[in-house]
Structure 1
Amino acid sequence: MIALMRVAVVFLVTGLGMPYSFGQNVDTTEYAGSKTCSGCHETEALAWQRSHHAQAWANPSDQTVDGDFDNTEFTHRGRKSRFFRKENGFFIETEDYNGPPKTFEVKGVGGLAPLQQYLIETEPGRIQSFDVVWDQEKKEWYHLYPEQQLLPEDGFHWSGPYKNWNARCAECHSTGFTKNYSFPDKRYQSDWAEIGVGCEACHGPGAAHVAWAEQSKPNKENLTSELKENGLLIEFTDKKAEIEIQQCAGCHSRREPFQNASPVPGTPFHDTYRLALLRDGLYHADGQILDEVYVFGSFLQSKMYQNGVRCSDCHEPHSGELRAVGNSICSQCHSPAGNKAFPTLTLKDYDDPAHHFHRTGSEGAGCVSCHMIERTYMGIDGRRDHSFRIPRPDISAKIGTPNACTDCHQDRTADWAANEIELRFPSSTRREDHFGLLFASARRGSTGLGEDLLSVARQETYPAIVRATALDLLTREANPELANQVGEFLNDPDPLVRRAAVSGLQHASSEVRAKNIVSALDDPTKTVRIAAARQLLGLPRGQLPPGASASAREATREWQQSLAAKSDFPETHMALGGAALAMRNPAAAISAFEEVVSLDPQLIQAWEFLVRLHLAQQNFAAAEFTLQKALASNPEDQNLLELKNRFPRQ
């Protein structure tokens, strides 16, 4: 079993060599194309054509490029970029690249509003998203990260791996996308059925549906077992909100993909992605959005999700526009009339000063101002928190999280806001203890919180993502007695909780780990099975019962495939390095961490691992040379400077 993981690194570097031809669309009979769909579904097509989905990715033309390419210039921290036209093309000449100024042709247009990005090909097949973008409202160029001055060698530079369109963006800006990255020669040969988020990105490949529609008497024998009677893979029904939510979540979430290509619609989310939990840096301790986490993770925290509300209850799915304007979008349910689809609603007039205590029509009277705080990303793009939370300035006063009240009343304190809410809602039951207080303590490194974290995980009234996060935080406490209790969550109905439980077993006794991992290897959800495969690495030989070998091999194969699909990610090679360390394979670990720092020289932990591995092998020259390279890329990093001060002198 352990021998299977020894080939993980080799597995990654044996990818097929492929010819490269960027821009060649996939040749498949499965996809019919949005133009074909429009022939029958005219109303839906007209709505879709004006949507952001339809214009998520476009070829450059006079109709799609809104930026000023009339020989205009923009300078960011001393580096100048010039935008101009030549013949029928659009070009960017920039000093913000290795070597002398270089000119790139614009190969694609990303997005419509409030900003538009331009995609350039830095080498055959490799498409990068340029960081100087067009502000659609102000009609001017601006830099996405004005406070940063990144060198071209930095992983977060526009030419680096984190800004690569093929790996990080294209799947959700296209239909039927396949990345096709070849690890040995570091090249892409990406394919797609259609650029832009077309009809089939949500409804699935439509060729069989077209054939069904053209038959006067549909021939069910011609349809495969996976297809519905109408020839499609997925049906959006009133009775199954989760199908729609998970389809939207594939793109509208902060997640790690398991495969090389867009999953076909209808594939369960947790079989395709690993959703980010409420982790520090992504979310505030109380679950409010912090970094750009998109929507799914916050929506899972909401009472709306728990009561069956779906995306299309508020958003028209083809145009993407809200179904009503202003507070009307909320009062379609939250009103004295209510909504028969949601019988547990409190029938009350919420759109009234007696509830919101603001002048009617003012910004403060807007439902979203209090219950969907807005955060700005990419400089100008406002995104709203979809957890639909009740403002809790009392929590802000304790742990420093933001709140809707002082978002607007910036001259006031959280304590003031908490007192105001208590005065206005004296009988409110919404001031109970909150998991955010516990999570904030755990994030600060406080110890002795294990029982409290287990208590949150056991509280079934909490959203699954909150319970899973409690188990995730529990892994910081290396307490075998607590970890031995985590196995009980492997029977939880939600895969997020089961996945976190598998990871939480790392500090359990080897007997408890083996027993629980065996059951997780056959979990119905891939995200749990992969987590179980990762936990196999630390088990002593012979711990798994003989009958588990087949399940272990299959789960390990799924993990290997997920790693291979992300061999262009620095994070993948960090995972491989960690796996190699667990297998006591220093050569494989060094190879993996060297790949990490070649992709992202600012990933300090990888440099530290490399230096220590060389020292452990008594290769002092390699260790010193590696440390010099690390400091050349990160001259002010305190961890590296401390390592240098402790470096053995020969």
Structure 2
Amino acid sequence: MRKRRPPRVRAASSRQHGSGRTTEPTVPRGLPQRRIALGVLGLGVVTLAVVTALLWPAARRPPDEAATAPPPPEFVGHDACVPCHRTEAEAWKDSQHAHAMQPATPATVLGNFDDATVTYDGVTSTFFRRDDRFFVRTDGPDGALADFEVKYTFGVYPLQQYLVPFPDGRMQALSIAWDARPQQAGGGRWFHLYPDEHIDHRDPLHWTRLEQNWNYMCADCHSTNLRRNYDPVHDRYATTWSDLAVGCEACHGPGSNHVAWAEKRPGWEKLTGSEGLTIPLDERRGVRWTIMSTGNATRSRPLETHREVETCGVCHARRSPLGVDPNPTGRLLDTHDLALLEARLYHPDGQQLDEVYTYGSFLQSRMYAKGVTCSDCHDPHTQRLRAPGNAVCAQCHSPAMYETPAHLLHPAGSPGAQCAECHMPTRSYMVIDPRRDHSIRIPRPDLTVRHGVPNACGSCHADRDAGWAAAAIEKAYGPGRKGFQTFVDALHAGRIGEPGAREKLSALVRDAAAPGIARATAVAALEGFPGRTALDAIQLALGDRDTLVREAALGALLSASPPVRGRLAEPLADDPVKAVRVKAGRVLAGVPMDALSPERRARCERAVTEYVASQEALAERPEAHLDLGIVYADRGDATRAEAEYRAAIRLQPDFVPAYANLADLYRALGREADAASALADGLKAVPDDPSLVHALGLKRVREKRVADALPLLERAALARPENARFAYVHAVALESLGRRDEAIAALTRALERSPYDPDLLFGLSTFNREAGHLPEARDYARRLGTVAPDDERVLALLRELDGN
């Protein structure tokens, strides 16, 4: 099961900087009833237009077209494939896919259920059997010990988890798992997936809570044709599947037409072109890799589609669904939204950090750029490598050139001489599951020295520092060996907001040779660097051939003014890829459309409707309701915005962003008492949460009660020292109470953590100016000028100080 899929939360109109900080949530201004009425009327017009458009082609379709079109494919189950594909079925039956999920039986359960106990955070859980049924006595939703029956196993190696059904159709994954490794490797034991954390029944990561819910978090990648069938009215599931584990159709798509073609059923002639296959995974058919004089191989013909890699990526990627049907189509971004190289997920050079699986890493690799697909290295049915050890690499890389002491720098046959040890280092997830980084990069210890990222040399040579390793690499290969992934300087600059970050990010966006996922990450980061340079790069990216880049460019427009958003996002409202259309709908939601022609308005409204539908399809998730609330607030529909925020709170009572946005909504409506109640409710659910404490402090400031606000703002700033915005607001409150020296000291401390934050630099410059410390004021202003060179506020400050 996934360790956790962090909520994809965006506070309304939150302002993001290169340092990644976010201001307190605010609701877009202006919620007049007139706009609400127009919004509802517009939706009705769009609905009528869409229905008419769907019916019109049907009415005009030639009478024989239906007769020649194949029927919609349906799932037939794994057993229907076996008679014609016995070799593949035999290879598959011992794979991880075949054992992804199984009924809990004496044959499938690996864990010790003979009254075995394990104690975690003061709770002792007991695993026991009643005949051939398996149970656990552990802390339930209320924290009390109770007996729960285990109905299914989840996975098989190196760990096995267990699923417990609940009466409302939910199944939950226990956080205590079985270590299936041999005892000599440390296995044969029960262990907790969060050994260093305090997780009780109130924590979102508790096994009975939302983040350990099988139906949403895990099911679609461990079963075939998974349908969650969530009922938002009654908050229940009726989840179904056609194959319990990962069967043939999980990758090849529904097989009814293929069976009809194979058995020559009536109408099979319509299917001869594709053999009735939903996803033709034939991109390697007839392809050869020829090793050239360089020692590297070239594909006999260019790879023009990515059906195979994107089919695998549906489950081997950090992503979120865009609708209720998550099944593969061969086009990942038509069904899912892919996470980019975000700071919480990846190191700035693109190496895996959090649990991101392999797809996002592989997109960064030279191999992907050259046309390598998953099955070039892995047998898709056994899931084993096509050859052991270095031999799998030797398919494309000449051993005469690479299996040499000069290249390996380690004795032949030693661990250090294994290609994967240097080029695909591991990182362990779920405590005991080491996974190789599929960005397939050369070791760069010099980047460890400069940016603190990991390097493969340090995995084995723990007794030597990165400087030693960098010198060894340079001596062996020369100073010019930089590898394929050369975007670290730009992404690192963007994360910390250092001077020149905007220009580096913009250059990366324009670098067509860089991996698309890195370019997309760069254009997304430009949202935090307003100005002409960034906007030009964003506008260029909106027309990029790479879908990820176009989608990320739309996201970067969210902080732009509504007229700019509307002008630049409208052309992508009917993009051929769903992820782009959905993102365009989010961007266009807050754009006034009254002045648009009926055709243009209908196009924009279709995209907004598609975005709303994509969130409604995730109705069991609080962050989906949060996103809907923000959209309705953007559109002036305060009633629906309020309802969505409250729906998020009902699903997860400790979901802080919903309380903060609800309070801001009430404040925008002039309902100050309700805003206070929303914050109080949030602090009751999550006592001392820094974001809510900060929001309450801001409320006191707006009420002209700065002295009362100060302790709250200080608490928030101390609890989140990495949040420069909290520090800045706290310092402003100190200064307004005449405590300027303390304000300067607070900003100076915060600047040590966030040395390029424009608010901190601006505060230090102006506070020192008011204190008569002009040299210090000029110094901070000049530093600010390197961070925000186009900011008129900064230029005016510099002119004033230079005049003095």
TM-score normalised by length of structure 2: 0.72
Match of 2:311 among 247, 254, 279: 247
Alpha-carbon distance, 1:127 to partner: 0.8
Q: Following superposition of structure 1 onto structure 2, how do residues 394-543 of structure 1 map, counting pairs within 5 Å? A: 394-426=446-478, 428-430=480-482, 434-446=486-498, 449-479=501-531, 482-508=534-560, 510-543=562-595
The answer to whether structure 1 residue 127 and structure 2 residue 176 are counterparts is no
Alpha-carbon distance, 1:634 to partner: 3.0
Quick check: 1:627–1:644 contact (8 Å CA) kept in 2? yes
Deviates more, 1:453-462 or 1:597-606: 597-606
In the alignment, residue 134 of structure 2 is paired with which amino acid?
F
Q: CA offsets, 1:40-70, max 9 Å, x none?
A: 2111111100000011011111111111111
Determine the C-alpha separation between the residues in 1 that align with 2:375 and 2:100. Answer: 19
- Tell me the residue number matched to 1:266: 329
Deviates more, 1:175-184 or 1:547-556: 547-556
Residue aligned with 2:152, SS: strand
Q: CA offsets, 1:89-131, max 9 Å, x none?
A: 2111212531532221112111010000101113331111110
Residue aligned with 2:402, SS: coil
- The 1:544/1:506 distance shift into structure 2, 3 A limit, reads farther
Quick check: 2:366–2:484 contact (8 Å CA) kept in 1? no
Match of 1:312 among 348, 364, 375: 375
Match of 1:220 among 268, 293, 309: 268
Deviates more, 1:629-638 or 1:45-54: 629-638
The answer to whether structure 1 residue 287 and structure 2 residue 350 are counterparts is yes
In the alignment, residue 302 of structure 1 is paired with which amino acid?
S
- The 1:617/1:557 distance shift into structure 2, 3 A limit, reads closer
Quick check: 2:127–2:137 contact (8 Å CA) kept in 1? yes
Quick check: 2:73–2:255 contact (8 Å CA) kept in 1? no
Quick check: 1:153–1:601 contact (8 Å CA) kept in 2? no
Alpha-carbon distance, 1:598 to partner: 3.5
- The 1:221/1:503 distance shift into structure 2, 3 A limit, reads same
Match of 1:323 among 382, 386, 392: 386
Match of 2:276 among 210, 231, 235: 231
Give the number of the structure whose alpha-carbon radius of gyration is greater: 2
Quick check: 1:300–1:463 contact (8 Å CA) kept in 2? yes
Determine the C-alpha separation between the residues in 2 that align with 1:454 and 1:55. Answer: 46
Determine the C-alpha separation between the residues in 2 that align with 1:549 and 1:617. Answer: 27
Alpha-carbon distance, 1:189 to partner: 0.9
Q: CA offsets, 1:389-442, max 9 Å, x none?
A: 111111111111111111221222222211111111125432799321221122
- Tell me the residue number matched to 2:250: 201
Determine the C-alpha separation between the residues in 1 that align with 2:633 and 2:519. Answer: 30
Quick check: 1:154–1:600 contact (8 Å CA) kept in 2? no
In the alignment, residue 308 of structure 2 is paired with which amino acid?
E
Quick check: 1:126–1:166 contact (8 Å CA) kept in 2? yes
When you count helix as a share of all residues, which structure comes out higher? 2
Q: CA offsets, 1:221-244, max 9 Å, x none?
A: 464xxx854222122222656111
In the alignment, residue 443 of structure 2 is paired with which amino acid?
P
Residue aligned with 1:184, SS: coil
Match of 2:221 among 172, 190, 193: 172
Match of 2:693 among 633, 641, 649: 641
Alpha-carbon distance, 1:321 to partner: 0.6
Determine the C-alpha separation between the residues in 1 that align with 2:119 and 2:353. Answer: 29
- Tell me the residue number matched to 1:76: 120
Alpha-carbon distance, 1:157 to partner: 1.8
Structure 1: tracts of 5 or more residues without a match: 12-27, 337-347
Q: Following superposition of structure 1 onto structure 2, how do residues 184-195 of structure 1 map, counting pairs within 5 Å? A: 184-195=233-244
Q: CA offsets, 1:468-518, max 9 Å, x none?
A: 111000011233663254222222111001111222233445554333322
Match of 2:76 among 32, 35, 39: 32
Determine the C-alpha separation between the residues in 2 that align with 1:482 and 1:385. Answer: 31
Aligned residues: 616
The answer to whether structure 1 residue 62 and structure 2 residue 106 are counterparts is yes
Alpha-carbon distance, 1:203 to partner: 1.6
Determine the C-alpha separation between the residues in 2 that align with 1:584 and 1:303. Answer: 47
Structure 2: tracts of 5 or more residues without a match: 1-34, 48-71, 182-186, 286-302, 706-804
Determine the C-alpha separation between the residues in 1 that align with 2:388 and 2:564. Answer: 55
- The 1:554/1:619 distance shift into structure 2, 3 A limit, reads closer
Alpha-carbon distance, 1:374 to partner: 0.6
Match of 2:428 among 362, 371, 376: 376
The answer to whether structure 1 residue 3 and structure 2 residue 49 are counterparts is no
Alpha-carbon distance, 1:308 to partner: 0.6
Determine the C-alpha separation between the residues in 2 that align with 1:540 and 1:452. Answer: 33
- The 1:402/1:633 distance shift into structure 2, 3 A limit, reads farther
Determine the C-alpha separation between the residues in 1 that align with 2:612 and 2:561. Answer: 26
Residue aligned with 1:359, SS: coil
Determine the C-alpha separation between the residues in 1 that align with 2:442 and 2:537. Answer: 33
Quick check: 1:353–1:360 contact (8 Å CA) kept in 2? yes
In the alignment, residue 32 of structure 1 is paired with which amino acid?
V
Q: Following superposition of structure 1 onto structure 2, how do residues 585-604 of structure 1 map, counting pairs within 5 Å? A: 585-604=637-656
Residue aligned with 1:74, SS: strand
Deviates more, 1:356-365 or 1:440-449: 440-449
Quick check: 1:506–1:513 contact (8 Å CA) kept in 2? yes
Identity %: 41
- The 1:400/1:247 distance shift into structure 2, 3 A limit, reads same
Quick check: 1:72–1:84 contact (8 Å CA) kept in 2? yes
Deviates more, 1:602-611 or 1:551-560: 602-611
Residue aligned with 1:97, SS: coil
- Tell me the residue number matched to 1:160: 209
- Tell me the residue number matched to 2:743: none
Residue aligned with 1:419, SS: helix
- Tell me the residue number matched to 2:755: none
Quick check: 2:347–2:453 contact (8 Å CA) kept in 1? yes
Q: CA offsets, 1:602-649, max 9 Å, x none?
A: 443333223344455555554444434433443343333344455548
Determine the C-alpha separation between the residues in 2 that align with 1:509 and 1:267. Answer: 36
